[in-house]
Chains A and B, each alone.
Chain A
Amino acid sequence: MVGAKMATASIRERQTVALKRMLNFNVPHVKNSTGEPVWKVLIYDRFGQDIISPLLSVKELRDMGITLHLLLHSDRDPIPDVPAVYFVMPTEENIDRMCQDLRNQLYESYYLNFISAISRSKLEDIANAALAANAVPQVAKVFDQYLNFITLEDDMFVLCNQNKELVSYRAINRPDITDTEMETVMDTIVDSLFCFFVTLGAVPIIRCSRGTAAEMVAVKLDKKLRENLRDARNSLFTGDTLGAGQFSFQRPLLVLVDRNIDLATPLHHTWTYQALVHDVLDFHLNRVNLEESSGLENTPAGARPKRKNKKSYDLTPVDKFWQKHKGSPFPEVAESVQQELESYRAQEDEVKRLKSIMGLEGEDEGAISMLSDNTAKLTSAVSSLPELLEKKRLIDLHTNVATAVLEHIKARKLDVYFEYEEKIMSKTTLDKSLLDIISDPDAGTPEDKMRLFLIYYISAHQAPSEADLEQYKKALTDAGCNLNPLQYIKQWKAFAKMASAPASYGNTTTKPMGLFSRVMNTGSQFVMEGVKNLVLKQQNLPVTRILDNLMEMKSNPAIVFVVGGGNYIEYQNLIDYIKGKPGKHILYGCSELFNATQFVKQLSQLGQK
């Protein structure tokens, strides 16, 4: 029954199902093994591309009958006699281009799907163009899909990738923002959140912190939801969406938090696999881009310099290793890769051994009885071959990614930073002075040092004295850092002090120091010499603690949304928190996803003004 299935569907599945239905001409998709092939062309804009790419691979698109997928604003040739499915945002330029397509009669029939709701006037523009081109019967269906958000994981979503400048932390917090601009930003965020809840099929209970951008978002979202519910006839939340969702018994709890309650976490150096990949490598929309230098041989004189290969890998839900280890600390990941490699080699050897046994065929009597066993073995070996190949590919992928991450760690001594920051954030005593680390020339890039200092500054109860500050500033500038972010943080801190007590980051009870040990992990291929084998303490970040307070004893599913930007560290923290409490569901969302580098850039832009 569809109802029962939807009850446990994650947000990713829901969005995928919605997309597949759209691609099937808005008729629910049924797998039919001897069905006739139907072919179509998919046209999307950049927003649509960002939404589709983490969810459906090119092969899956092919399976749905899509022969070509093209960008809206590229040169497209007329392909007669083929239906075209459009998946675009209803902006002016997109509408213009679609009208142009209608005039040029590029395709046979048009199925228009708008990512978020289209306004009446724009609809009339299209009608106008269709009339002018005499193409009205060709426009077969027009739909509002309400899919204006990007789902990255089963329980994590992001609002946008293309126009993230518009809703970035900087855009919301800059001092010179006008009211109208703020309105536009809020509208964009609310529109996406609204689409999210329509897809989820539930009306949330909204909680937010007062006096922040989050409150503005909450008020607007509330208004929009009420308007929609009031119009009972056309409400998006009635019918079989309500009552068939995961949240059929309880309304989910939407917790809106503003980035400003916790500025240290985005700057934090991290130690879990997914967060590290995001921090250190080029990782968006579940795709990581690696630059590999192809070999260290000396190039003969006069030859062209060796080009670095660029490789990109997709880290998808099908990748079992990734799903299992994305939250594990890095040394564990290294070990697991080794283990996987070992088991793969063992299986490979077994298959190879069969080859030699086969060679004995017909030589002696004993071979006949061996043969009967071996046919079974051979069958199982052959049928397991595709699996084995897939496993090898994943192992290669993760070996490359983990090696790249490890190189960065070694070069920048990220383990040292991580340990130190953990200590700062949990207010345990520091064994090394901050100044030492900052003036250490080969520990980390200037940016790492800046991050460390900012975290120190943010989490210190009282601001360091002027003299100390000057000393630090001098050390930082010597190391080559730009001091603009510091300006901004000072302002922020002053403001935050006025507003409320600064959030504390962890328990003040001292955990035994034995957890951090300098064990060198020599057994693995990933020679982590000098890299400490750090063990993560379970420690709740401010966002997690807010959620904890709000959720109390009820087991409503909860959605945490950070206005102003989020990152994988918080996501991982929430996942870890929820692991200890079975029966609760949490979804994590943010208006944009940035890593520490990008955040520092935004802070320095803010500090310049």
Chain B
Amino acid sequence: MAVDITLLFRASVKTVKTRNKALGVAVGGGVDGNRDELYRRSPRPKGDFSSRAREVISHIGKLRDFLLEHRKDYINAHSHILSEYGRMTDAERDQIDQDAQTFMRTCSEAIQQLRNQAHKETHSQQVREHRSAVLDFTQDYLKRVCKLYSEQRAIRVKRVVDKKRLSKLEPEAAAKTREPGSEDVSLDPSPAGEKPVAEEHAEKVPAEAQPELGSWGDGKGEDELSPEEIQMFEQENQRLIGEMNSLFDEVRQIEGKVVEISRLQEIFTEKVLQQEAEIDSIHQLVVGATENIKEGNEDIREAIKNNAGFRVWVLFFLVMCSFSLLFLDWYDS
């Protein structure tokens, strides 16, 4: 177990102070102390980077608090059911969405700016590493808070789509099937996208409901329905229930699949974005490599030329030497 000796340390500081006083050494070292003070007051690049980073972080913190505060109200599904407080109209929700998005955009821009600035300022390697790590942390934090926001939003969108589907199923005549169906459906969060299937089934049902209405309309005149007709209606009801149930099952299955697909999409987009960065860097490398090879070729050509030139000079020198030898020989004879 670690032992906190901070108090011991402070006590030692006091001891040293009193000892120094007793020995007559000025505490804080007189001139040196002043120099230190001045030294410190001289503009160290103290606040600039880190205070800005801290500002960004506090902004993100505010956003997070804001989202968490209104979260309950936001996702309250039964807000159409009257409650005293905590009702949130859709307009308010839209407002929150807008604000959150602009906020997040400004934050990420601020982080990007800080990053560029940090790159430009040439400091030592360590400071640069430290700054980029700090920016990574900040970006991470922003991502986490954004996740909060997107979760909320996804739930809200699901409920909206869900409501839309309910309102489509409303004009069905089969009153009994509507209640269990809508209750079940409203309990499961249903995603967007199964509309085409739902719609065509929804259309089929009203189409089927029409003849029923028609038959009811016709049979309205009679007060009593003959037993055969009752039986027929019973059978039809049963059939309709069966159809609704199977419909409902299919729809649920498809919902599940679509949820999975959307999750997969998310994962894939993430991966693709990552790969984009990597491909960019590979592209840079390749471009650099082709440049290098071109330069290399140039250099080789130069070298060949120089080699050739050198040979020419050597030949020339040899020929001159042999001529001069001949000349001397002729001169001498």
Contact = CB atoms under 8 A, between A and B. Distances in A.
Q: Do A and B come from one complex?
A: yes
Interface in B245-269: 253, 257, 260-261, 263-264, 267-268
Interface in A111-165: 113, 117-118, 120, 123-124, 126-128, 130-134, 136, 139-146
B22 interface: no
Interface in A264-312: none
B263 to A, nearest CB: 7
B61 A36 contact: yes
B129 A37 contact: no
B112 interface: no
Contact of A199 (B1, B9, B45, B140): B1
B3 interface: yes
A441 B29 CA distance: 74
A120 B257 contact: no
Which of A65, A67, A68, A136 gathers most chain B CB within 10 Å?
A67
B36 interface: yes
A76 B5 CA distance: 26
Contact of B40 (A18, A34, A67, A105): A105
A95 interface: no
A142 B260 contact: no
Nearest to B4: A143
A41 interface: yes
Interface residues of A, number: 60
Contacts of B45: 80
B153 interface: no
B10 to A, nearest CB: 8
A36 B3 contact: no
Given A105-B40, A379-B263, A131 B17 contact: yes
A325 B51 CA distance: 51
A240 to B, nearest CB: 9
Interface size class of B (residues with CB under 8 A): 35 or more
Given A62-B133, A131-B28, A379 B264 contact: yes
A2 interface: no
A372 interface: yes
A212 interface: no
A117 B253 CA distance: 65
Given A131-B27, A142-B8, A113 B36 contact: no
Given A80-B50, A133-B36, A141-B6, A123 B12 contact: yes
Interface stretch (B141-149, B164-172, B179-187, B296-304): B141-149
A391 interface: no
Given A144-B3, A198-B1, A70 B126 contact: yes
Interface string B45-86: 111011100000100110010000000000000000000000
Contacts of A76: 126
B2 interface: yes
A274 B225 CA distance: 88
Interface of A: 18, 21-22, 26, 33-34, 36-37, 39, 41, 62, 65, 67-68, 70, 76-82, 105, 113, 117-118, 120, 123-124, 126-128, 130-134, 136, 139-146, 198-199, 201, 236, 239, 241, 371-372, 375-376, 378-379, 382-383
A316 to B, nearest CB: 23
30 contacts: A34-B145, A36-B61, A37-B57, A65-B137, A68-B130, A68-B133, A78-B44, A79-B130, A80-B50, A82-B50, A117-B3, A118-B5, A123-B9, A124-B12, A124-B15, A124-B16, A126-B9, A127-B16, A132-B29, A134-B28, A134-B33, A143-B4, A143-B6, A146-B1, A236-B3, A371-B257, A372-B257, A375-B261, A379-B263, A382-B264
Contacts of A131: 13, 16-17, 20, 27-28
Closest 7 CB pairs of A and B: A67-B133, A37-B137, A77-B124, A81-B50, A127-B12, A127-B13, A142-B9
B32 interface: yes
B37 interface: yes
A177 B104 CA distance: 69
B2 A146 contact: yes
B257 A375 contact: yes
A143 B3 contact: yes
Contact of A123 (B5, B36, B137, B261): B5
A602 B138 CA distance: 52
Contact of A144 (B2, B32, B140, B267): B2
Contacts of B160: none
Contacts of A128: 16
A77 B12 contact: no
B134 interface: yes
B127 interface: yes
A21 B2 contact: yes
A376 B40 CA distance: 63
A565 B270 CA distance: 51
A353 B36 CA distance: 71
Nearest to A378: B264
Contact of B137 (A39, A82, A198, A199): A39
Nearest to B60: A36
B130 A143 contact: no
A145 B133 contact: no
